[in-house]
Homo-oligomer: A and B are copies of this chain.
Amino acid sequence: MDNDVKELRVAAGLSQRELAEALSVSRQTVNSIETGRYDPSLPLAIAIARHFARTVEEIFHVD
């Protein structure tokens, strides 16, 4: 599972902290997802997709 969260966040001009606040999670969670430390939970993945107006499948890719 890799993802395009970092690219989307940077393109939106947001810091990890700002995205974390928008998603109501910690900055470390955003960082961990971006750096591939672990996959988000399903509800968080859906929240991320909604935030960037994409589908889950467009952002998260099974290897």
Contacts and interface: CB of A to CB of B under 8 A. Distances in A.
B56 A43 contact: no
A47 B45 CA distance: 14
A42 interface: yes
Interface in A34-55: 39-43, 45-47, 49, 55
A38 B56 CA distance: 19
13 contacts: A1-B42, A39-B42, A39-B43, A41-B41, A41-B42, A43-B62, A45-B45, A46-B60, A46-B62, A55-B56, A55-B57, A56-B56, A56-B57
Interface of A: 1, 39-43, 45-47, 49, 55-57, 60, 62
